[in-house]
């Protein structure tokens, strides 16, 4: 018999998922792949496709060691079925989000949780909602972490064979998704099993020593899966690539990050926003008090707290690094919210959050220069402001009922808020962040066999959008004159942070606004003259 506290019937959950599916499909038309991460990953997949090399990822003609190949393989799989297109890479993340639902329900079963709240909470959490349509590795890594945690729970329940398979597959695929960082998500909670599973010792002769042996075997199985790719890739990619994938992207990132460096407390002030709206719902905090003694809550607390501690100690930090821990939060919040009754004031903080979003949008579009924002902010239409304000009022109305009704209202409010931002705010940004106009121009030049170069670091943001078949040379300022002399018909791209130059003999051949700057394409001699005039 279905538990009387179960949050939703299947039709309601299907309606939520259908709403997210519609939003994911609409995003393909509402925005391009965003530079620089999404365009970079699509560029890697495109170059793998061009080269027919699915072992060593390449980016702009060089081995790409920063990320393993699982995401790129999934993109290749879709292209093999449907041909090279723009829409398949955009569907990988939404499909990962969908796969999270049965995994969450399996984890609920293993933990003895019967509320069915966790899928609603996951899709209603702001950080997860922001990642659903992004072509990145985070949701893929999240699935691998979930698989690893399923394996841990199965080992605790003495289902050894299944536990080893789940744990090994989760770790192995996690390494192929984003590297050994998977271990920082899975192992801390697994290692403190005596705290959250104290009954394990001595039960039917099964001791912690055997559990830790199984944990080691699971890690070794995962390592074998990852090495099945890494060893031949290291051999094929050369010494620099080998050193990068075995050292530079693991211990090097943890000890001294070369990007996204932040203080240890970076995540703490972001938690209310990352976990909005649940973090600000009073019933969530009241429910936590009621589940403190439950064994399942101990496992989830170990997962979440240790993940936060570990990633606070790692030098490189971004909010999305916590995405793989969100299923643990969804399960814990589901347990907490299933305890107790709904109160009339529970919707007030989330509603105030929606109102704050409306006020923020109004300020962005009204005073962009005073806030130091680029020109696109003034082009945000007005309608998202009242839309979010009306959503706040609707939330106060629809979240008045019993706990399941509150849950549905919060989750749908998050979906509505993301849809408002996607349809109302994002299109104003697109003309300033779309690589397609520049990419089409570059593709035309390559069709004429004109060589291209980029002055300064190039993130390959135009390679996939323009289906470029030849890498773009990257030049230091000291290399510019020699390259121009060697390629007198070539073109050089620069990024100008000031105002666009006026026309004339030393003006760029082509320019377009791009991410708060101007992308300019020059004939080599004209660029040399222009740079000499600035000295």
Contacts (Cβ under 8 Å, ≥6 apart) of 364: 371, 373, 377, 380
Model's pTM, two decimal places? 0.94
Q: What is the model's pLDDT at position 262?
A: 85
DSSP class of 67 = S
Element of type H or E holding 531: helix 524-534
Hey, which residues does 514 pair with through a beta bridge? 517
Q: For residues 183 and 148, is the Cβ–Cβ distance under 8 A? A: no
DSSP for residue 490: -
Task: Supply the pLDDT for residue 162.
Answer: 97
Note the pLDDT of residue 499: 57
Dihedral, 384, 20, 277, 413 alpha carbons, nearest 10: 50
pLDDT value of residue 113: 87
Specify the pLDDT at position 341. 77
**Contacts with 60 (C-beta within 8 Å, 6 or more apart), sequence order:** 43, 47, 458, 460, 463, 471, 472, 474
Q: What was the pLDDT predicted at 1?
A: 35
Neighbours of 189 (CB within 10 A): 25
Res 258: pLDDT: 46
Which ranges of 192-325 would DSSP assign to H, the alpha helix? 193-196, 208-237, 239-243, 251-255, 271-274, 282-290, 295-313
CA distances to 54, 95, 133, 221, 226 from 74, in Å = 11, 11, 15, 22, 16
Q: Using 50 as the pLDDT threshold, list the residues of the chain that sit under it.
A: 1-5, 7, 203-205, 252-258
Question: What pLDDT score was predicted for residue 205?
Answer: 45
- Residue 192 near residue 302 (C-beta atoms within 8 A): yes
Longest dimension (CA), the chain: 86
pLDDT at position 513: 84
- Which pLDDT value is given to residue 5? 44
Query: According to the model, what pLDDT value does residue 202 have?
Result: 52
Query: Residue 492: which region, alpha, beta or left (left: phi > 0; alpha: psi -120 to 50)?
Result: beta
By CB neighbour count within 10 A (0-12 exposed, 13-18 middle, 19+ buried), where does 402 fall? exposed
């Amino acid at each position: 018999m279905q538990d009387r506290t179960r949050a939703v019937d299947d039709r309601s959950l299907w309606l939520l998922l259908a709403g997210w599916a519609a939003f994911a499909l609409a995003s393909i038309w509402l925005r391009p792949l965003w530079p620089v991460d999404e365009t970079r990953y699509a560029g890697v997949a495109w170059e793998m496709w061009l080269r027919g090399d699915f072992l060593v990822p390449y980016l702009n003609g060089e081995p790409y060691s920063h990320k393993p190949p699982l995401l790129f393989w999934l993109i290749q799989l879709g292209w093999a079925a449907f041909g090279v297109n723009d829409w398949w890479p955009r569907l990988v993340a939404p499909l990962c989000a969908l796969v999270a639902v049965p995994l969450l329900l399996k984890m609920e079963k293993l933990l003895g949780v019967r509320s069915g709240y966790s899928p609603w909470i996951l899709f209603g959490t702001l950080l997860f909602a922001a990642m659903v349509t992004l072509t990145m590795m985070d949701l893929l890594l999240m699935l691998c972490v979930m698989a690893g945690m399923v394996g841990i729970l199965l080992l605790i329940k003495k289902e050894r064979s299944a536990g080893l398979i789940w744990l090994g597959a989760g770790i192995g695929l996690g390494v192929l998704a984003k590297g050994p960082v998977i271990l920082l998500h899975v192992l801390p909670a697994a290692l403190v099993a005596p705290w959250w599973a104290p009954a394990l010792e001595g039960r039917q002769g099964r001791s912690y020593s055997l559990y830790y042996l199984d944990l080691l075997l699971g890690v070794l199985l995962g390592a074998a899966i990852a090495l099945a790719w890494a060893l031949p890739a290291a051999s094929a990619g050369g010494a620099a690539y080998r050193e990068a994938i075995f050292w530079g992207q693991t211990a090097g990132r943890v000890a001294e990050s070369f990007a996204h460096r932040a203080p240890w407390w970076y995540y703490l002030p972001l938690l209310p926003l990352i976990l909005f709206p649940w973090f600000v719902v009073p019933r969530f905090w009241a429910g936590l008090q009621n589940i403190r003694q439950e064994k399942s809550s101990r496992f989830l607390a170990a997962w979440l707290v240790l993940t936060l501690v570990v990633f606070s100690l790692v030098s490189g930090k971004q909010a999305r690094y916590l995405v793989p821990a969100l299923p643990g939060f969804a399960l814990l919040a589901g347990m907490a919210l299933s305890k107790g009754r709904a109160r009339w004031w529970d919707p007030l903080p989330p509603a105030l959050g929606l109102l704050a979003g409306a006020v923020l949008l109004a300020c962005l579009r009204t005073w962009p220069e005073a806030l130091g924002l680029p020109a696109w902010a003034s082009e945000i239409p007005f309608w998202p402001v009242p839309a979010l304000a009306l959503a706040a009022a609707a939330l106060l109305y629809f979240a008045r009922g019993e706990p399941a009704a509150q849950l549905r209202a919060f989750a749908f409010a998050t979906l509505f808020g993301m849809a408002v931002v996607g349809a109302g705010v994002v299109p104003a940004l697109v003309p300033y962040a779309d690589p397609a106009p520049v990419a089409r121009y570059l593709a035309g030049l390559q069709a004429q066999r004109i060589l291209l170069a980029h002055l300064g670091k190039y993130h390959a943001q135009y390679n996939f959008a323009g289906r470029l078949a030849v890498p773009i040379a990257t030049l230091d300022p000291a290399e510019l004159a020699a390259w121009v002399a060697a390629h007198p018909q070539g073109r050089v791209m620069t990024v100008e942070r000031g105002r666009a130059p006026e026309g004339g003999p030393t003006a760029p051949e082509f320019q377009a606004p791009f991410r708060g700057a101007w992308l300019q394409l020059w004939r080599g001699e004209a660029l040399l003259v222009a740079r000499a005039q600035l000295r």
